[in-house]
Homo-oligomer: A and B are copies of this chain.
Amino acid sequence: MSDGGQTEDARARLTRLHDILRSRICLLDYAPGSRLSEETLAAEFGTSRTPLRRALARLEDEGLIQTQHGVGTIVTDVDLAEMGRTYELRRELAGLAGRLSPVEVTPDIAAQAHDFVARGRELAGSPDAREFARLNMDFFHFGASLTENEALRETSERLYYRTARIWLKSIPRLNLGEEVRIFLSELEQTAAAIEGHDLLAAALIRQAHISMCEARLTG
């Protein structure tokens, strides 16, 4: 087969398209306010508009894009007030992750935490906004995996991706090196908490950093 022996299920393709597009939006490949073309994207992914529109529909329901008949598909922006309230909620949800169905800490989890510290140190050596965003995203998913409450995971993810691009857009306004250093500190603190099998502490650390991050963004 032309796709390397892997026939792709419709659901799998939807997930793939959606994840790729979401990533591009949150990494600012598609800046807020810019327009996406269904036709162009469909051509890029080698499908017709129909399956692509299914992926766009999900992105629209998630609030990442907005379509207008006859005009186009526009990447949404978020005003400061809305972002503030979303951050508030994210902060509280982060705290809940430590109390609601935390997973049992395995050696593998601890190893992952230390990997993040290593990646953070490397990033601190040569700061790069895009790489920073990627590491942040990966670390978020790691944090989400520390609770078995699927509803909480899903909700946190939804809200994270809603604010991620705003965060990255603001990095230039702040000091990249400083932000990386703060983030590295969060990684180290988290790794220490996990080392002690204390997921509640890990959640509180995250909660504190979300709060401080929001303060820096709005301040």
Contact = CB atoms under 8 A, between A and B. Distances in A.
Contacts of A54: 57
Q: How many copies does the complex hold?
A: 2
Residue of A86, A89, A151 with most partner-chain B CB within 10 A: A151
Interface string A67-93: 001000000000000100110110010
Nearest to A54: B57
A89 B89 CA distance: 12
A152 B61 contact: no
B149 A85 contact: yes
A88 B155 contact: no
A178 interface: no
A111 interface: no
Contacts of A82: 150-151
Contacts of A151: 82, 85-86, 89, 159, 162
Contact of A88 (B57, B85, B100): B100
Nearest to A82: B150
A181 interface: no
Nearest to A69: B10
Interface string A1-21: 000000000100000000000
Given A57-B58, A92-B96, A100-B88, A155 B155 contact: yes
Given A58-B61, A88-B149, A155-B159, 13 more contacts: A54-B57, A57-B57, A82-B151, A85-B101, A85-B149, A85-B150, A85-B151, A85-B152, A88-B100, A88-B101, A89-B152, A89-B155, A155-B158
A128 interface: no
Q: Which 7 A-B pairs have the closest CB atoms?
A: A85-B149, A86-B151, A89-B151, A57-B57, A89-B152, A88-B100, A155-B155
